[in-house]
Structure 1
Amino acid sequence: MKKWRTFASMPEQYIGLNKVLEGLSRVEKPILAEDQQEQINEILMRANGTDKKVSLTYYQRGECITETCTIASINIQRKVLYFVDEIFEMKNELPLSEVLDIRFL
């Protein structure tokens, strides 16, 4: 697909080509097995409120994203996970249903 980028000389072509390339990189959300969900819940509970670094993989807008972060808190009622990323040190909110994998570092 890189060879077609040279033909994107007009803005309309460039926009159309970007849409096609974005569509190729999107993936469907993986379905987790019950034991994987239990393992994720166990690690989340152990990491909750501690300063231990974890590798968090989650699904967002057609992509699987992996970040190194610390778990700040979990809101069970809203089913939301709050984590602080390592790069910008900002608190982020993530639905628990979007978590794909979590591992201690």
Structure 2
Amino acid sequence: MAITNATDQTFTTETNEGLVLADFWAPWCGPCKMIAPVLEELDAELGEKVKIVKVDVDENQETAGKYGVMSIPTLILMKDGEIVDKVIGYQPKEALAELVSKHA
């Protein structure tokens, strides 16, 4: 499964079914750039268990505000549209894989 870019208009549709890891990020954010390849690896390894959705907070402020995103990167794990976990800042792949496994 490929990583999807979501917008204010598509976020609810993209996250309402199954396990979804939403990455709230911005192009100018250093830690966001560091976590991007980690998310690519995670998608390659766990793509059948979790869908990864990226949300650019500069372009989608409504969604970022709705979910209380104050720092980036913020990763919100959702199951069938409901928040089940949330982590802020750079996370190693192992930590994200464990986060997904807890709720898969």
TM over 0.5: no
TM-score after normalising by structure 2: 0.25
Per the normalisation by structure 1, the TM-score is 0.25
Task: Choose between structure 1 and 2 for higher RCO, CA contacts under 8 A separated by at least 6 residues.
Answer: 2
Larger Rg: 1
